[in-house]
Amino acid sequence: MSIAILTSGGDCAGMNPAIKHFVDYCFYKNIQPYLIYDGLEGLIDGDIKKAFHADVAGIMHEGGTKIRSSRSKRFFEYDYREQAYNNLKEHGIDKLVILGGDGSFRALDQFYKDFSVPFVGIPATIDNDIFGTDYCLGVDTALNMIRSASDAIRDTSASFKRGCVIETMGRDCGYLALVSAITCGAEVCIIPELPYNLKSLEKKLKNQMKNGRRYIVAIVAEGTKQTKNIVKWLEEDVGIETRATILGHTQRGGNPTVHDRLMAIEFVTYAVDQLLNNDFKEGVVVVYKASKFEFVSIDYVNSNRYQIKNHLTNLAKNMIA
């Protein structure tokens, strides 16, 4: 038996620890590990190599993914999926581990339906927007990158009595913005999941400024497309000079935190053990829910949309009105 690992879609910190542990753990289980480079595109092009300890030595602390990633339109076409399958057969690979998001899981699910190649998906996205899991690999590091940037921006904003608007990533999910706003002590939080009242916030902030407030921190999720509007509102309505910072892809990089490293190791261990189960002949996703790891079907992951837990949104009520 041979197992290969690939990373697909957006990269995130935690992927390299997962790749390293995959190789080490496969050898521990007397299984030959393979690395698929450049994600689904590499699977199509046959960029597949046997893995050795030397390939993954010293990458535990590195962000991103050593085996690189991609988004593949070609994989939607049967002929390219067949080409990918033939590449696996050529190397004697009969099982896969994929780190990615729901789109990557859907792609391999179709691949399984076509060619019966069992796989386990590991949720890896800083957006933390995959239904069925409370935690996705890379989230903790992304939050710490935002925390570091937000703390630094607050320092300079306080020095000049300015407002600062910080835009976080997350597509249409406001998880990064919400948790960052709560833990960074922001005054304003704008996310797709929560309605907000600028008139009420304006009145509150003006009163605080009269009583000595020297700066305002507003954290805005990119999915709201409200960054420019919040800057304008702070300057024209609240009456404070304001600067905007779009954090962008800095949130995907950085050294993986201890938590992301540990989660990577646990995710991979469960994934490989499941693939080594002789009765396992399907495709599933390993998720972390209610402080436990479990396996769920691709249909279940795709059956609903991820929603931020109410206990978190309740903590932001003072930042939306």
- Which domain CATH number covers 198? 3.40.50.460
Shared-domain flag, residues 184 and 94: no
Shared-domain flag, residues 267 and 231: no
Look at residue 310 and tell me if it is in a domain. Answer: no
Look at residue 307 and tell me if it is in a domain. Answer: no
Shared-domain flag, residues 146 and 234: yes
Look at residue 316 and tell me if it is in a domain. Answer: no
Shared-domain flag, residues 146 and 240: yes
Q: Which of 102, 109, 127, 129 is catalytic?
A: 127
Q: Which residue has the tokens 């938590």?
A: 259
Look at residue 317 and tell me if it is in a domain. Answer: no
Nearest alpha-carbon partner for 3 in 65, 50, 52: 50
Nearest alpha-carbon partner for 7 in 41, 33, 32, 30: 41
Q: Give the other-Cβ count within 10 Å of 200's Cβ.
A: 11
CA 179, CA 194: separation in Å to the nearest integer? 13
Nearest alpha-carbon partner for 135 in 284, 127, 298, 104: 127
Shared-domain flag, residues 264 and 185: no
Look at residue 186 and tell me if it is in a domain. Answer: yes
**pLDDT, position 1:** 85
Shared-domain flag, residues 281 and 210: no
Domain hosting residue 281, numbered range = 2-138+256-301
CATH number at residue 69: 3.40.50.450
Q: Which residue has the tokens 């393979």?
A: 34
Q: In the annotation, is 109 catalytic?
A: no
**pLDDT, position 164:** 98
Within 13 A of 117's CA, how many CA atoms are on the CB side?
28
The total domain count for the chain is 2
Residue type, 244: A
Shared-domain flag, residues 129 and 271: yes
Q: Which residue has the tokens 């990458």?
A: 59
Angle (nearest 5°) at CA 304 between 260 and 277: 55
Look at residue 311 and tell me if it is in a domain. Answer: no
Shared-domain flag, residues 165 and 213: yes
- Summarize pLDDT for 38-78 with one digit per residue, the tens: 999 999 999 999 999 999 999 999 999 999 999 999 999 99
Residues of the chain whose pLDDT is less than 70?
A: none
CA dihedral 259→261→265→267, nearest 10 degrees, is 60
Look at residue 306 and tell me if it is in a domain. Answer: no
